[in-house]
Chain A
Amino acid sequence: LAKTTQPISMDSYEGQEVNITCSHNNIATNDYITWYQQFPSQGPRFIIQGYKTKVTNEVASLFIPADRKSSTLSLPRVSLSDTAVYYCLVGRLGGGSYIPTFGRGTSLIVHP
C-alpha cells in the first residue's frame, strides 16, 4: 500500500504561490502521483497527475524529484476560491491491487 503524508493544514494570502508537499517513501516503479481538490460538501476534483520531473497545466504545477519519494503541488497566485482540501494519491494505472487512499489531505486556507 502506497502510504502518503501531507501537512494537515496551511495558510496563505491572496496572490501568493502555495506549495504543498506530499511524502510517499514507498512509491513503486509503476506508480503515478495524482492530486485532487475538494470543496466542502462536494466530491474531489482532479487537479494534476505526474510520474516524474515536472508537469504543468492551466491550474497547477507538479514537481517530482528524481527519487520520486515526494512531490510538490504548486498553486500560482492563489485566490480565496482556492481555499479547499488538497489530497495526494499514489497508485498505478491499468492493473495493480492498491486501494486508493486519500487520507486527510491538506486543508488550505487563503486569507484576503
Chain B
Amino acid sequence: DSGVTQTPKHLITATGQRVTLRCSPRSGDLSVYWYQQSLDQGLQFLIQYYNGEERAKGNILERFSAQQFPDLHSELNLSSLELGDSALYFCASSKNRGSGETQYFGPGTRLLVL
C-alpha cells in the first residue's frame, strides 16, 4: 500500500460525458501527478501540482483539467469523453516538486468510455 488513494476504482461512461477522478496523496506529500496509461501509449504524464499550484504540464488535452485543493487532494476532470480516452489513470504523490523525486502511485482508476 503506497498510501495514495484514488476513487473510483472503475468508471464506465458514455461518449460525450464528463467524469471526475479523485486522488488523495500520502500524508505530508505536497506534489500530485496525474498519468494516463493506455495499451498502446505507455505511461503518459499529464500534469503536476505542487502545494496547490500547477507545476508542470505534459500532453494533457484541452478537454481535461485538474486542480489541487487546500487539503492537497486533487481532482482530474475529463469532459466530452471519446472512446480513445479509455485508459488507466494513475495519480502519484511526492514530498517535493522535482521530477526526480520518488513518486508513490495510487492503484489507478480504470475508465471505460462506451
Binding site for B on A (CB under 8 A): 31-32, 34, 36, 38, 41-46, 49, 87, 89-105
B45 touches which of A38, A90, A100 (Cβ 8 Å):
A100
Number of A-B contacts (CB under 8 A): 83
Candidates A87, A90, A91, A93; contact of B43 at CB < 8 Å: A87
Main secondary structure of the interface of A (DSSP, over half): loop
A43 to B98, Cβ gap below 8 A? Answer: no
B window 76-107: CB within 8 A of A? 88, 90, 92, 96-107
Known: A90-B100, A91-B100, A94-B98. A99 touches B45 (CB 8 A): yes
Interface magnitude class on chain B: 20 to 34
- Cα–Cα, bound, A105→B4 (Å): 23
Which residues of B have CB within 8 Å of A95? 97-98
A43 touches B106 (CB 8 A): yes
Asked whether any CB of chain A lies closer than 8 Å to the CB of B42, the reply is yes
Which B residues lie within 8 Å of A34 (CB)?
100, 102
